[in-house]
Structure 1
């Protein structure tokens, strides 16, 4: 679907969900990027940009975005069993304590925000943690978004947060950050198409270096971010 064909309320809802101003705390996480900088693996604009592109294509497209796409359908169909299974998968595949903290904290914070618009949200999430992608899928489905549009919004929101983390952690100037964001924005549509093509139950979570660096970050001597 052409995003321009979305109903105005749906488009605005997705822009709102992708906004760094959404009060879910995404700005406080670097998803191991800070540890990669400390290890000398992402200590410049080209290296940090390549790191984030790899994370988008090898981790998000195969895992988080694939779960999000399936969860949007699950919420639209009121398939509680499917939603619960996707939520469990997300939590079980967070390899470090920091990654578990991030997805649970952002999921809870998004649920708190959702209560303002959807008073029935707590009942819908009964028995769930919930993980952030599953909570985001609920918000996107309620806004009337299809899986593709929901994934585009999620991926761009992720990209903005990660670029902001890179600007602080490397550190980089604002122009460098915008160049990195442009590279990610150009790669996001293909990553989303890859994600929505993943069959149910075939999503993957295999990024060993990301997991190792996240675990190292837990005891990193000096750090700005929670992950």
Structure 2
């Protein structure tokens, strides 16, 4: 799964940034919790056998502390939306109040998305938005960063 999820990012910079985030997250979680599965994953990353994708780090961490699949997926989804909203508040004309309203109202949508995910097949793994990937590849090299992962 590590390899499959990593190679889905066509843009090199996106792949490399994702690896950095995953490895930082992994170390932070290991500093907080004793998790043998994450230790094994970290060892595989060190040996070059795995990449260290943050979604997998998160899933392993949630499993390790006894959080079920549904709650883990909803938590990860909310966290992702929250991060995007925070970035939007800083980078575009989106006020704090509007950002908080998005977060307040997103719950039902996330539950609907979770239910839709349950209907997906293994063959659906890796569905992505081609336009986003193409835009990322066109802008792989930037001279500045608004936010650093």
Fold equivalence (TM over 0.5): yes
2:96 alignment partner in structure 1: 174
For the Cα contact (< 8 Å) 1:147–1:196, is it kept in 2?
A: no
TM-score calculated relative to the size of structure 2: 0.81
Choose the corresponding residue for 2:13, options 83, 98, 102: 98
Unmatched runs of 5 consecutive residues or more in structure 1: 1-85
TM-superposed deviation, 1:222: 5.4
- Return the alpha-carbon distance in structure 1 between the equivalents of residues 128 and 143 of structure 2: 27
Taking only aligned residues, the RMSD between alpha carbons, in angstroms, comes to 2.2
TM-superposed deviation, 1:207: 0.4
TM-superposed deviation, 1:118: 1.6
Choose the corresponding residue for 2:118, options 196, 203, 219: 196
Query: Number of paired residues?
Result: 142
1:122 alignment partner in structure 2: 39
Q: Deviations over 1:80-119 (max 9, x none)?
A: xxxxxx1111111012123212321121012112222125
TM-superposed deviation, 1:188: 0.9
Alignment of 1:36-55 (within 5 A): none
2:53 alignment partner in structure 1: 131
Query: Higher RCO, 1 or 2 (CA under 8 Å, sep at least 6)?
Result: 1
Q: 212-221 vs 139-148, which deviates more? A: 212-221
Alignment of 1:1-227 (within 5 A): 86-116=1-31, 117-118=33-34, 120=36, 121-125=38-42, 126=44, 127-220=49-142, 223-226=145-148
Q: Deviations over 1:153-205 (max 9, x none)?
A: 10000011000011111132101211222343331111112223323343132
For the Cα contact (< 8 Å) 2:35–2:61, is it kept in 1?
A: no
TM-score calculated relative to the size of structure 1: 0.56
Secondary structure, in 3 states, of the residue corresponding to 2:124? coil
